[in-house]
Structure 1
Amino acid sequence: MLDPTEALHLILDVCTPLPAEDCELDDALGRVLAEAVIAPEALPPFDNSAMDGYALAGGSEPLPAGSEWLIEGEQAAGDGASRARRGAWEIMTGARVPDGLDRVIAVEQTERLNAPPRVRLKAAVAAGDNLRRAGSDVAQGVAVLAAGTLLAPNHLMLLAALGVAGVRVATRPRVAVLCTGRELVDDAEAVLASGQIRNSNGPYLAAALPRAGAELVHRETVGDDVEAFLAAFARVRDAGARVVISTGAVSMGRYDFVPEALQQLGATAIFHKVAIRPGKPVLFARLPDGTLFFGLPGNPVAVAVGLRFFVEPALRAMLGLPREMPWRVPLATGCTKKPRLRFHLKARVAMDAQGGLTAQVLEGQESYRIRSLAQANAWAVIPLEASLLPAGSLIEVYGPSHLHSPDFGGSHA
C-alpha cells in the first residue's frame, strides 16, 4: 500500500492553478482572490466628523471651555465641500468638514445660545479632535487584500467602501459526483425495500464541495454496472467537469467495477489503495483529456476522509493556494491504533479548564457511523508509525474544510 504522504504528492504533481476570472462584487462571497486588490481611492475619501457637534478652527492651540462662537453655517452628511472663514459650523456625523476648520466638539459638550445664534463650549477642544482624516483607514494605492484571500462579508464591505466593483478570482474547479450502488435510494420519501439504504454520500458531497471552493456541475446515482457508469460519465463530460468523484465500487468485491470502467475510458491509474483508515481502497486516476478522477470507498466516513485529505488538497492547488498547515493540539485522553496505517479520527477540539485547546477522540470511529461525524468539529490525524499515544501527546488536527477556520469553541463536557 502507498504511503499517504506519497499519495498526496502524486496528486499535487498533476494539479496546477486554474486561470483567473473576473467576478462582480455581488457574486464574490466565498471566492478566492487570484490577485491582490489595490485601493483605488482613500478611505475615508475626505476629512469628516466623527460625531454630531460643531466644527471650529483654532490653529495649534486648544479652544478653551467657556468661549463662544457665532454659528456661521451647517454641514450635513452628503453635502459637498464648503469654505469656512470663521465661527462655528453645525455638523453631522459623517459630514465633510468645511475647508479651514480643524476640530469638532460634540454637541453634548456645548450650549446653544440665541440672539445672535452662537454656541458656548463646555469643554476645551484641540486640533484634530473628533475628526476622521482622509486616508486614515486606507491610503490610496496600498494593497488591502492579498491574493489567496477567501472573500468573506467583511472583505466585501471594505471593497464596496473603496468603490471596487469587481475582482479577479480563481476559477472554481468544476466537479461531478457519481454515487454507485444499486442499493442506494435518493428519494427521501421513498419506503426502503429490503437491502436498500438511503444515499447520504451524494448530499454530503453536494454540500461540502462548494464549501471547499468547487463548482458542482453534475451529480448522479448509478447501479453496479459498467455500461451505466460509462453512460453517466458521458453526461459528466457534457457538464464540463474537470474533476470526477465516485463513491463505492473500488474495493475487491465482485461488484467493484470502477477500475474496469476506468480502463475502458483510457484512464491512467496513478494509485489504488493507500495506507490509511478509513478509506484504504481510495483510487486516483487521470483521463486522457486531463480530467482527474477520485474513486472513494462507499462507506460515508471513508467518503468524508477521501474528500478532506485527497480531493480538497487538489482543489486547493487548483485555486492557487499554498499547502494547508494543520493545527497541533494535545490529546485529551490516550489513543491506541494499529500500526502501519495513518488514522483519521473523528474528534472534538475544545477548551480545557485552563483555557487551552485539547482534542478528544470520539466514540464510534467505524466508517459506517455518521452520528459521531455529525458530533465532530475536527479530524485527528494519527501517523503511520504510532500505535499508542498517551494523553497530552501532540497530534495534527484539521478542521472540517480546508477553506474555513475550524470552530473550536465550547468544552468537552
Structure 2
Amino acid sequence: MLDVDAALALIHQGLHRGPTEALAPRAALGRVLAQAVYSGEDLPPFDNAAMDGFALPLGARTAQAGEEFAVQGEQAAGDAARSAQVACAIMTGARLPDGLDTVVPLEQVRVLAHDVQGGAQRIVLTVAVAPGQHCRRRGEDICRGEPALPAGCRIGPPQLALLAGIGCAKVSVVKAPRLTLFCTGRELVDDPARALGSGEIRNSNGPYLAAAAAAAGTELLREVTVADEPASLQHAIADAVADGARLILSTGAVSAGRYDFVPEVLGALRADIVFHKLRMRPGKPLLFARLPGGTLYFGLPGNPASCAVGFRFFVCAAVRALLGLAAERPWRLPLVQEASKKAGFALYQKASLTFDRDGRAGVRLLSGQESFKVHSLAHAQGWAMLPAAAEHLPAGTSVDFHGSAHWGLHLDTESAA
C-alpha cells in the first residue's frame, strides 16, 4: 500500500492544464482563467463625486468655515463633461466639471440664496474643507493596462463585477474537464419515491458525487447506476471514453469481495492500474488507473465517507491539475479536543471550524466518523487530516484542515497555469 503523498504524486504525473476557450464573463462564471486579464479602461473612467453636495474650485488650498461660494448649475450622474468657474451642485457619482476639484457634503454647508427654480445660488461653509476631499479619481480603482485578475483565478460574482467595470467582453478560461459517474451495486435504489425492498438501500453516493463534481469545476456528462456485472461496467466505460470523458468515477466493487470486479474490468480494458489501496482511513480500497488514451479512472469505495474522501482528496487533486491550479494548501489549525488513532494510516475526519472568545479558529472533530454515516457528513464544514505517524494527539495539536470544496479556504490565484 502507498501512503497518501506518494499516491498524489502518481496522480499528478503527466497531468497538464486542459484546453481553453473564450467566453463572455457571465458564461464563464465558476470557471478558471487561463490567461491574466489586464484592464482596458480606467476605473473610475473620470473624476467623480463620492457624496451629494457641492463641487468647489479649491486648487491646493483649504477653505475655512464661514467662506462663501457662488453656485451655478447642477451636475447629476450621467451628465457629460463640462467646465465651471464657480461651485456647482453635484450628485454622488456625477462627473466633476473641469475646473472643480473638491466636494463638500450637503450637511456641511448652509444655503444663503436660491434661484427661481429653487436651486442653491450661494452657500457658506460650516466647516473647514480640505482640497480634493470626497472625490473619486480617474483610475483610482484600477488604471488602463494594469493587471486585473491573474491566470488561475476562479470567476465568481466579485470577479464578474470587476470584469464588467473594466469593460471586458471576453475571457480565456480552461475548459471544464468532462466527467462520467457510475454507481455499482444491485442494492442501490435511485428513485426516492420508491419503497425499499428487502436488502435495498438509497443511492446517496450518486447525488453527492454529481453535485460535488459540478462544484469542483467539471462538466458531468452522465450519471448512471450500472448492474453488478463486469460486462455492464466494461461497456459503460467504453461509452464514456467515446463520449470524451477525461475522468471516470465509479463507486463500489473495489475491495476484496466476490463482487468487487472493477480491477478485473480495468484489466480487460488494458488499463494501467497505478495504485489500489492506500494507507488511509476511510477510503483504503481507493483505486486509480489510466485507460489507454489517457482517460483517468478513479474507483471509489462504496461507503459514503470513503467515497467522499476519495473524491475530495484524490479526484479533486486531478481536477486541479487539469484546471492549471497548483496543489492545494490546507489550513493549519489546532484541535479543540484530543484524538487517538492507529499509527500507520492517515486518518481523515469529518470536522467543523470553531472559534474561541478571542476569535481564534480551531478544528472540532465531529461524532459519527464511521464510514457508512451520512448524517455527520452533512454537518461537516471540511476534513481534518490526522497524520499517519500519529497515535495520540492532545488538544491544541495543529493539524491540516481542508474545506468541503477544494477552492474554498485558500488563494487559488497563486496557481501555476
Task: Say whether the fold is shared (TM-score over 0.5).
Answer: yes
AA aligned opposite 1:45: P
The C-alpha deviation readout for 1:358-398, integer Å capped at 9, x for no partner, is 22222222110111111221211112222222222221121
Cross-structure match for 1:139: 143
Inter-CA distance 115–355: structure 2 relative to 1 (3 Å threshold): closer
Tell me if structure 2 keeps the 8 A contact 1:218–1:239: no
SS at match of 1:120: strand
CA distance in 2, matches of 1:67, 1:399: 58
Q: CA RMSD in A?
A: 1.6
| Residue in 1 that maps onto 2:186 | 182
Q: Distance in 2 between matches of 1:273 and 1:378?
A: 23
Structure 2: gaps (5+ residues): 411-417
1:91 paired to 2:84: no
Contact 2:402-2:409 within 8 A present in 1 as well: no
Alpha-carbon displacement from aligned partner over 1:124-145 (angstroms, at most 9, x marks no partner): 3332122111111112211121
* Structure 1 residue 293 corresponds to structure 2 residue 297: yes
Q: Which residue matches 1:365?
A: 369
Give unpaired runs (5+ residues) of structure 1. Answer: 407-413
Task: After TM superposition, list the pairs within 5 Å mapping 1:13-24 onto structure 2.
Answer: 13-24=13-24
Matched, 1:200 2:193: no
CA distance in 1, matches of 2:130, 2:60: 8
Structure 2 CA distance for aligned equivalents of residues 390 and 115 of structure 1: 77
Secondary structure of the structure 1 residue equivalent to 2:257: coil
Structure 1 residues 247-290: Cα deviation after superposition (integer angstroms, max 9, x where no partner): 00111111111111112222111111111111111111111111
Q: Distance in 1 between matches of 2:131 and 2:151?
A: 39
Q: Which residue of 1 aligns with 2:5?
A: 5
Instruction: Give the match's secondary structure for 2:151.
Output: coil
CA contact (8 A) 1:78 1:95 kept: yes
* 1:350 correspondence with 2:349: no
SS in 2 for 1:135: coil
2:374 alignment partner AA: I
Aligned length: 405
TM-score normalised by the chain length of structure 2? 0.93
1:100-121 alpha-carbon deviations (Å, 9 max, x no partner): 1111221222233136833333
Answering whether residue 38 of structure 2 is matched by residue 38 of structure 1, we say yes
Q: Does 1:282 align with 2:286?
A: yes
Bigger mean CA deviation after superposition, 184-193 or 100-109: 100-109
Q: Percent identity?
A: 51
Question: What is the alpha-carbon distance in structure 2 between the residues aligned to residue 140 and residue 392 of structure 1?
Answer: 48
| Greater mean alpha carbon deviation, residues 62-71 or residues 167-176 | 62-71
Q: What corresponds to 1:306 in structure 2? A: 310
Alignment of 1:307-386 (within 5 A): 307-386=311-390
Contact 2:241/2:295 (<8 A) preserved = no
Q: Quote how far apart the aligned CAs of 1:354 are.
A: 4.2
Q: Is the 8 A contact 1:213 1:403 kept in 2?
A: no
Which AA in structure 1 matches 2:109? T
Q: Secondary structure at the match of 1:405?
A: coil
CA distance in 1, matches of 2:367, 2:114: 77
State yes or no: 1:400 paired with 2:404: yes
1:401, 1:14 → 2: CA distance? 24
Match of 1:154 in 2: 158
Whether 2:48 is the aligned partner of 1:48: answer: yes
* Map of 1:389 onto structure 2: 393
Q: 1:387 to 1:47 in 2, by over 3 A?
A: same
TM-score by length of 1: 0.94
Question: Given residue 204 of structure 2, which amino acid in structure 1 is its aligned partner?
Answer: S
Q: Deviation at 1:123? A: 2.9
CA distance in 2, matches of 1:106, 1:290: 65
Comparing 65-74 with 140-149, greater Cα deviation is found at 65-74
Between 1:136-145 and 1:229-238, the stretch displaced more is 229-238
2: CA distance, partners of 1:59 / 1:385: 69
The code of the aligned residue for 1:186 comes to D
| Counterpart Cα distance in 2 of 1:332 and 1:99 | 61
Cα separation, 1, equivalents of 2:235 and 2:115: 89
Task: Please say which of residues 250-259 and 235-244 is displaced more in the overlay.
Answer: 235-244
1:100 aligned residue? 99
Counterpart CA distance in 2 for 1:61 and 1:392 is 58
The answer for the alignment partner of 2:71 in structure 1 is 71
Letter in 2 for 1:239: D
The list of structure 1 runs, each at least 4 consecutive aligned residues, that deviate by more than 4 angstroms after superposition, is none
C-alpha distance in structure 1 between counterparts of 2:62 and 2:355, whole Å: 50
After alignment, is 143-152 or 61-70 more displaced? 61-70
SS of 1:62's equivalent? coil
Structure 1 window deviating more from structure 2 (396-405 vs 308-317): it is 396-405
